[in-house]
Amino acid sequence: MSPRKIGVTEVALRDAHQSLMATRMALEDMVDACADIDKAGFWSVECWGGATYDACIRYLNEDPWVRLRTFRELMPNSKLQMLLRGQNLLGYRHYEDTVVDKFVEKSAENGMDVFRVFDALNDPRNLERAMNAVTKVGKHAQGTICYTISPLHTTEGYVQLAGRLLDMGAQSICLKDMAALLQPQPAYDIVKGIKDTYGDVQINVHCHSTTGVTLVALMKAIEAGADVVDTAISSMSLGPGHNPTESLVEMLKGTDYYTELDPECLLRIRDHFAAVRPKYKQFESATLVDTDIFSSQIPGGMLSNMESQLKQQGAGDKIREVMAEVPKVKAAAGHPPLVTPSSQIVGTQAVFNVLMGEYKVLTGEFADLMLGYYGECMGERDPEVVAAAQAQAKKEPITDRPADHLQPEWDTLVADAAKLEGADGTDEDVLTYAMFPGVAPGFFKTRDEGPKNVGKTEEQLAKEASAASGASNAVTGPITYKVSMGGREHSVVVERA
């Protein structure tokens, strides 16, 4: 067998900072790395998605379309890649088909090349329109399998799902392991199953590193035939993020597989982000490695969400009960993979069940999930809970494609966006409003003020380091203070005795 080249998707510009630092990295902290990323030889550069779009307008006063065009300009030789939530696009609801078409068209026009399309429930009907739209504009449509573990999820099931994605025109298949649940053996079995069944279809594998085992999963996936794997440059890797790009390169040395990444470029990309990462330390979690998910089945982000909901209700001590409730709610809903938005929907309902009794109160989203408005899952839904949802939400269950129930909405969106102060009348602005109607108006208003970097400056970091070093915790001075004492003001100079 002659050595086989393995492609690499670098995720530093999207999922890495989303996972490590709550998606807070500003464009200005990325631009200086782009030339090297462009030259390093990646199969693609992931750089855009729902959370980055959201964070841009919510926290950073950055136009996400400007960010995309900047990447396009700075990385002319790279395939830019985004993560698209199927019929949800980058938002949290289903959009009507013409909005889907428009979003894909504008994204392609602004520079996007590879669209990784997924649905939280793995319902292929929720991917179909987006995939077709991508194919229509001549870009790469990647059909995604969200990996999860349940009594119903089998290798055969995943292989069949890959077949449905290929039938609807997927140019490649992504096996997406957002919770770091993918162990080496199932990684091997699924990739091998897809290759054996459908011939030489391109397979990309995306793993998080939270559980510490997924670089091994990438190795086994590669042995089984995977073509491209996702990694993050080492200085933006590990913990709840991804496996280090450089470790992947070294892992393959001497094997029948190789990458063709330029080591000098990798070194410079690493050094760039090694300097940037400490600025965002306040947003980082302390998680180094966590294998709890294999028993709890609860992704880390979902757990912290539930904890904060409980604390707000003064019921922080109920977390163990809620954790025990999650698998039951998940089973009642037909075993959806737990990923945005299903993770939030299931988690919140589990909290409600514990605080108010089982299914006494349903969230609107959970009722929709039970009634089929998010699509179909692998498993049957519990008919009693479906009945409760029907009663509470006063809605009929559906079995057809959820988006078929939507009315054309593009013209309304255009009209509504036009009324917003600071909106510029472009389709891009209409889409921003469509995705995040609550946040977009505020962003349009302040957009002119330009980007706001929420990372700390070097000066702030130096100050904190000295404060923590303990020598401090006191004035070292001399410092001049204005001091009021007995109603009179004095100018006072203070220094350590």
Residues that bind a second copy (CB under 8 A): 183-186, 211-213, 215-216, 219-220, 234-235, 237-238, 243-244, 246-247, 249-251, 253-255, 263, 288-291, 294-295, 463-464, 467-468, 470, 472-477, 479-486, 490-497
Q: How far apart are CA 43 and CA 479, in angstroms?
A: 56
Cis peptide before 478 (omega within 30 of 0): yes
Q: How far is the CB of 490 from a second copy (least distance, A)?
A: 5
Q: Which is nearer to a second copy, 412 or 476 (CB)?
A: 476
Closest CA to 351 of 359, 373, 292: 359
Q: How far is the CB of 20 from a second copy (least distance, A)?
A: 11
Q: How far is the CB of 274 from a second copy (least distance, A)?
A: 9
Q: How far is the CB of 304 from a second copy (least distance, A)?
A: 16
Q: Which is nearer to a second copy, 149 or 168 (CB)?
A: 149
Q: How far apart are CA 115 and CA 94, in angstroms?
A: 18
Cβ contact 44:113 at 8 Å:
yes
Q: How many CB atoms lie within 10 A of CB 340?
A: 17
Q: Which is nearer to a second copy, 246 or 325 (CB)?
A: 246
Q: How far is the CB of 17 from a second copy (least distance, A)?
A: 15
Provide CB contacts within 8 A for 62, sequence distance 6+. 26, 27, 56, 451, 452
Q: Give ∠ CA 307-311-313 in degrees, rounded to 5.
A: 120
Q: Which is nearer to a second copy, 1 or 474 (CB)?
A: 474
Q: How far apart are CA 428 and CA 332, in angstroms?
A: 39
Q: How far is the CB of 491 from a second copy (least distance, A)?
A: 7
Q: Which is nearer to a second copy, 237 or 297 (CB)?
A: 237
CB burial of residue 495 (10 Å; 0-12, 13-18, 19+): exposed
Closest CA to 398 of 385, 410, 386: 386
Q: Which is nearer to a second copy, 184 or 299 (CB)?
A: 184
Q: Which is nearer to a second copy, 425 or 477 (CB)?
A: 477
CA atoms within 13 A on the CB side of 235: 17
Retrieve residue 254's tokens: 């001497």
Q: How far apart are CA 22 and CA 240, in angstroms?
A: 11
Closest CA to 242 of 265, 273, 203, 263: 273
Q: How far is the CB of 100 from a second copy (least distance, A)?
A: 38
Q: How far apart are CA 355 and CA 444, in angstroms?
A: 39
Q: How far is the CB of 444 from a second copy (least distance, A)?
A: 32
Q: Which is nearer to a second copy, 183 or 342 (CB)?
A: 183
Q: Which is nearer to a second copy, 142 or 235 (CB)?
A: 235
The dihedral through the CA atoms of 157, 158, 163, 164 has a sign that is: positive
- State the residue for tokens 């280090």: 244
